[in-house]
Amino acid sequence: MKIWVPSDAVAGVLSDLPGVECEVYAGGQAPDGAGEVEVWIPPLVTVPDVAGTLAGMTSLRLLQTVTAGVEPYRPHMPEGAVLCNARGVHDAGTAEWAVGAMIAVLREFPGFVDAQRRGVWTYHHTGVLADSTVLIVGYGSIGAALERRLGGFEVEVVRVARGARDGVHAMEDLPGLLPAADVVVLLVPATPATAGMADAAFLARMKDGAVLVNAARGGVVDTDALLAELKTGRLRAALDVTAPEPLPEGHPLWSAPGVLITPHVAGSTPASDRRVLRLIRSQLLRYLAGEPLNNIITDAY
């Protein structure tokens, strides 16, 4: 069985499986023999021409991503192939990033770092996370991991997901929840329904001084609308993802006031790497044994 894997590390954890032949494909020009590949594990950064690559994978039966998001692959899956994501793998890193990012913005760490570089003592009061309302938009496994990490910070957590359930609001409730939130964390997947959801109307409903934290996908936020709010100083933001991405040199987001930007690193941690390897090995053992697979994508995500 031929498998395309994203790294030597992944090939290593599969090396003892009987009948498995691993070939590393980390991006760039695809190797020959795409039509013989039965399992594809793409790299973290999407390879070029996903549609063309998948069109040639006539023997593909399983595509296992190392990301929670599957938007580059889902529209192009060959008939008879199963798509699985890496739900849970990046929960710890992404939740940790979100907590750190909201604290950094509220406590004005970027400004203090700049003052340190200039050798200036800029004492003043800052905001604080304690006594805040944190609205989690997209309450899945990462949202639950974030709430656990917020447990000691004396905040009120409000949860929103696609559909209402016990303790979780539906997306239809979001407009009424935004005005009370001090921090709004976006954790939704990239789907047609979430594209541009944080638009001018969404942002206008947020309270003065609130912080938008985007650990989802850049396209979930209307960049121009966010820039307009940042320039007035009414809102602040912490962004691990942007539209466009990578954010080009000279883009106005780089110099906008009140924004902290990191280059899509929330889930890029040793913890995620370890968990990816465990997930892939477990999934391949299930596949070889004909057992039900985990994290099968049956809907938009």
**Rounded to whole angstroms, how far apart are CA atoms 18 and 60?**
19
Exposure string (b/e) for 186-222, b if CB count within 10 Å is 16 or more? Answer: bbbbbbeebeebbeeebbebbeeebbbbbbbbbbbbb
Contacts of 117 (CB under 8 A, 6+ apart): none
Residues in a beta bridge with 37 = 2
Residues in the chain: 301
Q: Is 264 a catalytic residue?
A: yes
**Rounded to whole angstroms, how far apart are CA atoms 24 and 284?**
16
Tokens of 93: 């890193």
Burial class (CB in 10 A: 0-12, 13-18, 19+), 115: middle
Q: Write out the catalytic residue numbers.
A: 264
